[in-house]
Amino acid sequence: MSSRWIPLESNPDVLNSWSNKAGLVPLVQFDDVFGLDEALLTMVPQPVKAVVLLFPISPESEARRKQEDEEILSKGQPTLDPTVFWIKQTISNACGTMGLIHAIANSDATLKPESPLSKFIDQCTDKTPEERAKLLETTPLFADIHAQAASSGQSAVPTNLDTDLHFTCFVAAPSAGTGPGMRVVELDGRRNGPIDRGECTDLLADAAKVIQEVYMGNSQSMQFNVMALGPAAKD
């Protein structure tokens, strides 16, 4: 990867700080998902527009990732809506910003005109995921926002920037295959492209099921954190 940023801390204050600076109109915000059982999911403000997961990288998870990527390459997957906005990650530790861009750009959340994120999405029109990655490397729009958000967390900025934690994102997208319907799509810049995770009837509940089955069910780690993009609390 071409350069390295400070890792983002996984808490709503940091993600909302980034989002507001990037241009998200604060009618929606990120909130903690305190658990993945049905009772705790009902506490999350609805409707959920995107789900962001922080998970630990391990040799076992890397092996599963490579196996799944190879299976998708050889066997294919359901055709995904071509309008899904995805970027290949080429900046080390930028997965937090990548997750936020993926979450917001693939929702119907309103962006302020001429804001950094609005400009970036416009500039990415008709570009490949790799060209978008190059644009993210070279544009000044997000490096400062990422650094400010990373420095606003509750923990001290680490001197060692190596991390074994990674952000990924889940959104709902229309099916591009035969028949109507929505699909749960995982967007992770380290993968080869967007990943179809199955039928979507309730994004939060369906993403929670994927997180439990694909990530938490194969790990003994407690270093997971889930946040949802949804309506902001009214004053």
Catalytic residues: 95, 166
Cα→Cα distances 144→4, 9, 196, 201, Å: 13, 15, 32, 37
Global confidence as pTM: 0.91
Query: Where residue 69 sits, what CATH number does that domain have?
Result: 3.40.532.10
pLDDT for res 155: 43
Name the percent of the chain lying above pLDDT 90.
Answer: 69
Task: State the average pLDDT for the chain.
Answer: 88
Domains contained in the chain, number? 1
- What tens digit of pLDDT does each residue of 47-63 get? 999 999 999 999 999 99
- What tens digit of pLDDT does each residue of 102-122 get? 999 999 999 999 999 999 999
State the residue range of the domain holding 145: 3-231
Residues 6+ apart with CB under 8 A from 165: 7, 10, 54, 55, 56, 57, 223
Burial of 19-53, coded b for 16+ CB within 10 Å and e otherwise, reads: bbbbbbeeebbbbebeebeeeebeebeebbbbbbb
Which tokens go with 13?
A: 């204050």
